[in-house]
Amino acid sequence: GYTLMTRVARRQIEEFMGLDTPIGDMIGMSELGYLGFECHLGQRHINNRDFYVEFVQDGKPVEDGRTGEL
């Protein structure tokens, strides 16, 4: 599993570093490297250069913009 940065942690970092410092989240695995990241605009991006990522619901691919399991 993974854990995203909490709002409390983000706020504490912002208070310490200042609002001018971009803060982003990252998801990865020690065995394989990073899977995705959050950019300075708050959007999440998948590392599709190194991974083939598929979102599924009930074992079937979901349409773009829909939620599913990774």
Q: 2 falls in which pLDDT band (50, 70, 90)? A: low
Spell out the residues 6+ positions from residue 69 whose beta carbon is closer than 8 angstroms to its own.
55, 56, 57
What is the DSSP track for 17-52?
Answer: H-TTS----EEEETTTEEEEEE-TTS-EEE-TTT--
Model pTM above 0.75: no
Looking at residue 26, its pLDDT comes to 87
Per-residue pLDDT at 1 exceeds 70: no
- Token pair 């399991």 in the structure block, residue: 69
Over residues 16-50, the pLDDT tens digits come to: 999 898 888 888 888 888 888 988 788 889 898 98
